[in-house]
Structure formats: structure tokens, C-alpha cells
């Protein structure tokens, strides 16, 4: 014979502590209130999908880009980032969209930037005039990575 629930508990009188409530999948973020997530070709619109992994893989700068992505915090429409110091030898780095324009601003390692996001911003990594990495981060946290990577 199934007895079902036999114990009735009192309704709690104290509200739950939000720290005791587990996060929903994909909700954990130490980066502020926007979680960065890499956009895959199959999840992107056709025009955006063309910009994903269209460039050759560059293993020299790939680790640098991953470190750059880890440095980004987006909260309340403001991005804060620190340009990693370990720019690979022979490479130059530029940011765009940090001043609400498409201008590529060359940066040096160790710089900290804080700015209001206007739709998105990004990073280019060059060797001479050849682009080795292209990253765009949208205001909602989508990461569009132009180069093939692991």
C-alpha cells in the first residue's frame, strides 16, 4: 500500500537566502551581470555565421585572446577589461568600439579600459598588417571569434 507523503512541514517564516539557492545552468558568472558565451555558427544568423571561424588558426595568439576574454567584466551596460601584458612578440593589438566608434585603437599590455557598450566592441590581433585574430563581444555577451581555435 502506497502511503504517499505522511509528514506535513510548517511553512517557512523567514525568506530564503539567495546565496543558498543554486544557480540555473549558465547563470553562474564572476564577471558581472552579463555572461560571455561563444556564439557557434549553427546558432548564429547567416550574416553573423560568416564571421565565425573564417580565419586560419593562429596558435601563437590564441592563448592571448583567451586571457583577454577572461579579463572582461560587463555590468549594467559598462565593460571593464585589462589588456593582458603578454602580447606575443611581433604582434600588435587594437580594440574597437571602446569609444562608441569603429576606430581601431592600438593598446599596450596592462592597460585597463572602462566604457559604455554601444552594441558591441572587439579586439584585433595583427602581425604587420595581417589580422591573426578577430573577436567581437556584443552587448548581450555573445562572443564572435573570427579565427579557428581550440
C-alpha to C-alpha distance for 68 and 42, rounded to whole angstroms: 25
Q: Tell me how many domains the chain contains.
A: 1
In a domain, 16, yes or no: no
Give the pLDDT of residue 99. 79
Give the pLDDT of residue 26. 45
Long-range Cβ pairs for the range 66-74 (8 Å, 24+): 68/123, 68/135, 69/36, 69/135, 69/143, 72/31, 72/36, 72/137, 73/31, 73/32, 74/31, 74/32, 74/33, 74/34, 74/36, 74/117, 74/137, 74/139, 74/141
Task: Give the model confidence (pLDDT) of 87-136 as tens digits.
Answer: 999 999 999 988 777 788 899 999 999 999 988 999 999 999 999 999 99
Give the pLDDT of residue 65. 95
In a domain, 141, yes or no: yes
In a domain, 24, yes or no: no
Give the pLDDT of residue 4. 58
Amino acid at each position: 500500500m502506497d502511503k504517499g507523503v505522511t509528514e506535513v512541514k510548517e511553512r517557512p517564516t523567514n525568506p530564503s537566502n539567495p546565496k543558498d539557492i543554486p544557480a540555473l545552468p549558465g547563470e553562474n558568472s564572476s564577471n558581472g551581470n552579463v555572461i560571455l558565451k561563444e556564439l557557434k555558427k549553427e546558432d548564429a544568423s547567416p550574416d553573423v555565421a560568416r564571421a565565425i571561424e573564417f580565419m586560419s588558426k593562429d596558435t601563437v595568439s590564441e592563448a592571448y585572446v583567451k586571457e583577454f576574454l577572461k579579463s572582461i567584466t560587463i555590468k549594467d551596460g559598462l565593460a571593464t577589461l585589462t589588456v593582458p601584458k603578454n602580447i606575443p612578440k611581433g604582434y600588435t593589438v587594437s580594440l574597437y568600439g571602446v569609444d562608441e566608434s569603429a576606430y581601431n585603437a592600438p593598446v599596450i599590455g596592462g592597460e585597463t579600459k572602462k566604457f559604455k557598450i554601444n552594441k558591441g566592441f572587439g579586439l584585433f590581433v595583427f602581425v604587420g598588417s595581417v589580422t591573426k585574430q578577430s573577436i567581437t563581444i556584443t552587448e548581450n555577451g555573445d562572443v564572435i571569434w573570427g579565427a579557428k581555435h581550440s
